[in-house]
Chains A and B, each alone.
Chain A
Amino acid sequence: MRGWRRADGRKGIRNVLLVAYLVECAHHVARAIAERHDDGDVQLIGFPGCYPNDYAQAMMERLCCHPNVGAVLLVSLGCESFARRRLLEVVRASGRPAELLVIQEAGGTRSSIARGRAWVAGTLPVLAAQATVPLAPEELVIGTICGGSDGTSGLTANPAIGRAFDRLIAAGAAGIFEETGELIGCEGHMASRAATPELAAEIVACVDKAARYYTTLGHGSFAVGNADGGLTTQEEKSMGAYAKSGASPIVGLLKPGDQPPGGGLYLLDVVPDGEVRFGFPNIADNAEIVELIACGAHVILFSTGRGSVVGSAISPVIKVCANPDTFRRLPEDMDIDAGRILEGRADLDTVGAEIAALVTAVAGGTRTCSEALGHQEFILTYKSFTPAGPACLPGR
């Protein structure tokens, strides 16, 4: 594995130039600047809202200073509330080339696009000249998520990802799993894996919060259709998603944007704090992927049964396909065929080892299916969090 060393000591496995719009009104200009480059090294992200939000500001700071990012062009309309100067200062302080383009000051759409393209053209050779250095397993952060799940997800892809997590974490990496709303019923088991009793209490409280949040939004957890597929209890259903976490001890509880202080397994709390507002915590899978990436994830392991095709901006997504029929239908989109386990052609340990080997290859530059197909999905919406307490990271 090789990476680009950043001023903060972290290393990236990609050297992306980000074009980031700071309100939806700047989206078109930002896209026109970025879309000239279809080789994947220039990517588009942004926050659509006009009104200020501390979470969105902090997320954009974390994302623009992600180790996989080499340079950043900010595109502002001019009258939105986003603290654009602060973001520019944060990115420049990180040692990255950065520029701010304000459309209302740059003469409008056409001249802003021309200026943005010129800056990108001048910056890409700077990134191309940057050398890579060796990357050790303990410098790697891996996130995992499931989406487009079906009855096979909890039997093949999720436990196989758990095996891969066990291997990568044993080698020193940090692994992050999430979606506490899908872990309701597992909090007792998660608490038993926690590094300290205080962390165990934080984990239980965090799942309770998710249960309250989803209840307020009118979501049940266990549906009749689950029983048809062979699931009997709430805790069994949640265990299927939870299996992605593997068997390592849980050493910390993160909130979006928190960086793991070292190797080991972390739970990411994606459900906002305080009263329920702004609607669903995560409107689609990419909202969770963005939060994992904001925590420093270099690579995302994505388990899917029905066949999600998404990738992400900033960090490569490895698709682990749980269902063998889906793999046959969507072979170009799937990196790993975990459904072989159902057909007796592989076992969980074999597929787990295969996933861990692919993570190493992707960290060495190999493109994932979604990267090669040009997927760069990105979602950032309004949320609010209070900072995690000291009990959440006992190792720090």
Chain B
Amino acid sequence: MSAGQPVLLLAPEDNVLIAVRDLPAGQRLVDGGDEIVLPDAVPLGHKLARRPIPRGASVIKYGASIGSATRDIPAGAWVHLHNLASDYLATAGAGDRP
């Protein structure tokens, strides 16, 4: 992530960035050599896609999967409840874990 951007990259392998202030739709970001234009507004502390994330792929934050995309997510799009779902089975002691 280039310095001076209003987003945070928590781990190099992440496919999401974190807004460090409220970002409006149309905001331009530079990630490495690539320019990202935000199709959606992204509030402070929320996630946006660093690159396209296909439906079913893991969303990676802190270098770890935090769930799977429930639809195709274009680069720059806000990532939240409408396009990301948990893979976690909150059943204590109930067997298979990833």
Show the binding face of A for B, using Cβ within 8 Å.
Answer: 151-152, 155, 159, 184-189, 191, 204-205, 208-209, 211-212, 215, 221, 227, 229-230, 232-236, 239-240, 242-243, 247, 341-344, 347-348
Contact = CB atoms under 8 A, between A and B. Distances in A.
B92 A208 contact: yes
A211 B92 contact: yes
Contacts of A189: 64-65
Contacts of B10: 155, 159, 243, 348
A312 B64 CA distance: 33
A230 B80 contact: yes
Nearest to B6: A344
The secondary structure that dominates the A interface is: helix
B47 interface: yes
Contacts of A221: 90
A296 B86 CA distance: 37
B63 interface: yes
A31 to B, nearest CB: 42
A235 B88 contact: yes
14 contacts: A151-B44, A159-B10, A185-B88, A205-B93, A211-B92, A229-B45, A230-B18, A233-B66, A233-B67, A233-B88, A235-B86, A239-B61, A341-B20, A343-B20
A312 B3 CA distance: 37
A229 B43 CA distance: 8
Interface of B: 3-6, 8, 10, 18-21, 43-47, 61-67, 79-81, 84-88, 90, 92-93, 97-98
A230 B43 contact: yes
A219 to B, nearest CB: 12
A233 B84 contact: yes
A195 B90 CA distance: 25
A186 B67 contact: no
Given A187-B97, A188-B98, A236 B66 contact: yes
Given A159-B10, A215-B92, A243-B10, A236 B18 contact: no
A186 B81 CA distance: 19
Contacts of A159: 10, 62
Contact of A341 (B8, B66, B93): B8
B34 to A, nearest CB: 20
Interface centre among A184, A185, A215 (most CB of B within 10 A): A185
Chain B CB within 10 Å, residue with most, of A159, A212, A235, A243:
A235
A230 B8 CA distance: 14
Contacts of A240: 62
Contacts of A209: 92
Given A159-B62, A188-B98, A230 B45 contact: yes
